[in-house]
Amino acid sequence: MNDFFRADLHCHSTSSDGTLTPKEIIQLALQKNLNGLSITDHDTIENYDEALQFAKEKNLPLISGVELSAEHRNKSVHILAYGFPIDALPLKKFCQKHHERRKNRLKNILEKLNHHGIQLSWNDVTHTNSDDFHHSIGRPHLAMAMMKKGYVSSIQEAFQKFLGEKGLCFVPGEAFSVEETLDVIHQSQGLAVIAHPHLINDTSIVQDLLAMNFDGIEGYYARFSKSEQDRWVKIGMKKGWLITGGSDFHGDVKPNSSLGSSWVNEETFSILYQHFQQSSHNKI
């Protein structure tokens, strides 16, 4: 076992709300001497084939991944999925539904912002006039556009005043349940992991999730304190689940989490990597 092995299993690219392209993330991972990676964009697996091709050329083991937005009793829950074949149809269709959800939500938020005197257009946020784009647009894109136009001075301010759950222009958007999301992941031969469990911040919801058929929990997370990490690792071990981890790197939009600042060891990475190879092989 290589004691220096580090694989970051949670990061975002320009396919959703990160600021580096998948190729740039792979290059950064190599610069940082990471031994493995999964890129987990919000609700999309677009561009994964290109990323896999590039990672192969660069000899960096890359595992398919995605971070799916779900809701449980009106509370937002993020679910990471790993190791599915990138052409898995149930997941592709599900991501398409999320894409429609995000486009509708964006229209509704823009309307609300306009009512509050914030003149942002579809183009300011998506950088296209049509709705034929493939990346996942989220609130960080709106926050960046608001900053660029001088309406707020930071991303935090945009969320606090306008976009966050308590903000003036918050729109919840259509919700997908945790159960439905788990079904899609499992039908797609993926492994389902509770993302950043500390953000759920509600014991009864955590209890509900722990009773569902997840395969893992994110126990190593860039901004966890040691005691927090130990708590989630212990819970995951008790369940016999995989304990995953990653930085939740987003690039410049969230500058305080650098790529590789949280990671899993060789043993955990190998389980996921083998699962990915097996599921992709079964599919062909």
The answer to whether 56 touches 64, Cβ cutoff 8 Å, is: no
Task: CB nearer to Fe ion: give 196 or 275.
Answer: 196
> Does 251 engage in binding with ligand AMP (CB under 6 A)?
no
Tokens encoding 229: 């990490």
**Rounded least distance, CB 140 to ligand AMP, Å:** 5
Task: CB nearer to ligand AMP: give 35 or 69.
Answer: 69
Specify the stretch interacting with ligand AMP by CB under 6 A; choose among 114-122, 155-163, 211-219, 231-239: 155-163
Task: CB nearer to Fe ion: give 215 or 280.
Answer: 215
> How far apart (Å, rounded) are the C-alpha atoms in residues 56 and 22?
13
Residue nearest to ligand AMP (CB): 138
* Residue 159 binds which entry of Zn ion, ligand AMP, Fe ion, none, CB below 5-8 Å type-dependent: ligand AMP
> How far apart (Å, rounded) are the C-alpha atoms in residues 125 and 233?
38
List Cβ neighbours of 3 (8 Å cut-off, separation of 6 or more): none
Specify the stretch interacting with ligand AMP by CB under 6 A; choose among 44-52, 114-122, 138-146, 218-226: 138-146
Size of the site for Fe ion (CB under 5 A): 4
> Does 164 engage in binding with ligand AMP (CB under 6 A)?
yes
- For 13, phi then psi, to 5°, come to -115, -175
Tokens encoding 25: 């993330």
> Does 139 engage in binding with Fe ion (CB under 5 A)?
no
Task: CB nearer to Fe ion: give 78 or 141.
Answer: 78
Instruction: Name residue, tokens 């997840």.
Output: 214
The answer to whether 197 touches 218, Cβ cutoff 8 Å, is: yes
Is 170 buried (19+), middle (13-18) or exposed (0-12) by CB count in 10 A?
A: middle
Task: CB nearer to ligand AMP: give 90 or 167.
Answer: 167
> How far apart (Å, rounded) are the C-alpha atoms in residues 181 and 204?
19
> Does 140 engage in binding with ligand AMP (CB under 6 A)?
yes
Tokens encoding 9: 């299993």
Cα 256 to Cα 100, 103, 248, 252, 267, distances in angstroms: 31, 28, 10, 9, 27
> Does 98 engage in binding with ligand AMP (CB under 6 A)?
no
Q: Which helix (H) or strand (E) holds 171?
A: none
- Among residues 156, 204, 213, 274, which is the contact residue for ligand AMP, using CB under 6 A? 156
> Does 248 engage in binding with Fe ion (CB under 5 A)?
yes
> Does 78 engage in binding with Fe ion (CB under 5 A)?
yes
Interaction site with Zn ion (CB under 5 A): 12, 17
**Rounded least distance, CB 42 to Fe ion, Å:** 7
- For 19, phi then psi, to 5°, come to -105, -5
Interface residues with ligand AMP (CB under 6 A) are 17, 42, 69, 138-140, 155-156, 159, 164
Interface residues with Fe ion (CB under 5 A) are 67, 78, 195, 248
